[in-house]
Amino acid sequence: MRQRNWRIVIVGGVLVALAIVFFLVMLSLASKSSDPKALMETVGTVSGVVGGIGVVMIVVGLIGKEVA
């Protein structure tokens, strides 16, 4: 039987939520930038990486660990 690690699942969910919020906040600020295209490319990359790490953490937490 495997035991789920809910702490990792919760942290992964928080990371996904933070990535979405960061992207949306920076989307509203991009119009004030001198180079909005480059800004949004960087923001998209960072948001994607953080969101991906969050999804992996959720999956790993849901798989859990083997208990004797």
Domain assignments of the chain as residue spans, ordered by start: 2-66
At residue 39, the pLDDT reads 94
- What phi and psi, each to the nearest 5 degrees, are found at residue 3? -105, 125
pLDDT per position in the chain (68 positions), as tens? Answer: 889 999 999 999 999 999 999 999 999 999 899 999 999 999 999 999 999 999 999 999 999 888 87
At residue 61, the pLDDT reads 95
Cβ proximity of 42 and 30 under 8 Å: no
At residue 1, the pLDDT reads 83
Angle between helices 36-63 and 6-29 (to 10 degrees): 170
Q: Mapping DSSP to helix (H, G, I), strand (E, B) and coil, where does residue 64 land?
A: coil
Q: The whole model's pTM is what?
A: 0.87
Report the C-alpha gap between 58 and 8 in whole angstroms: 6
